[in-house]
Amino acid sequence: MTELKYGMFTSFILFVWMIIEYTLIVPNFHETGTYIGIVAILIPVIGIFLGIRERREKTNFGYITFSEAFRTGIVITFIVAVMIVLFTYAYYQFMNPNYVNYLAAETEKALIKQNAGREEINAAVTIIRYQFSFNVQIIQQLLFILLGGTAITFIVSMILKKERRTKPV
Spatial CA neighbour of 51 closest among 10, 91, 107: 10
Place 154 in a pLDDT band, splitting at 50, 70 and 90: very high
- Summarize pLDDT for 55-66 with one digit per residue, the tens: 999 988 889 999
* pLDDT the model gives residue 73: 96
Helical H segments across the chain, by residue range: 2-20, 29-32, 38-54, 66-90, 99-113, 118-131, 134-160
Q: Would you state the pLDDT for residue 32?
A: 55
Asked if residue 49 lies in contact with residue 153, where contact means CB atoms within 8 angstroms, the answer is no
pLDDT, mean of residues 58-77: 93
User: pTM for the complete prediction?
Assistant: 0.81
3 state SS of 129: helix
- Tell me what the mean pLDDT of segment 150-161 comes to: 95
pLDDT of residue 6: 96
Per-residue model confidence as pLDDT tens digits over 106-141: 888 888 988 889 899 999 999 989 988 889 989 988
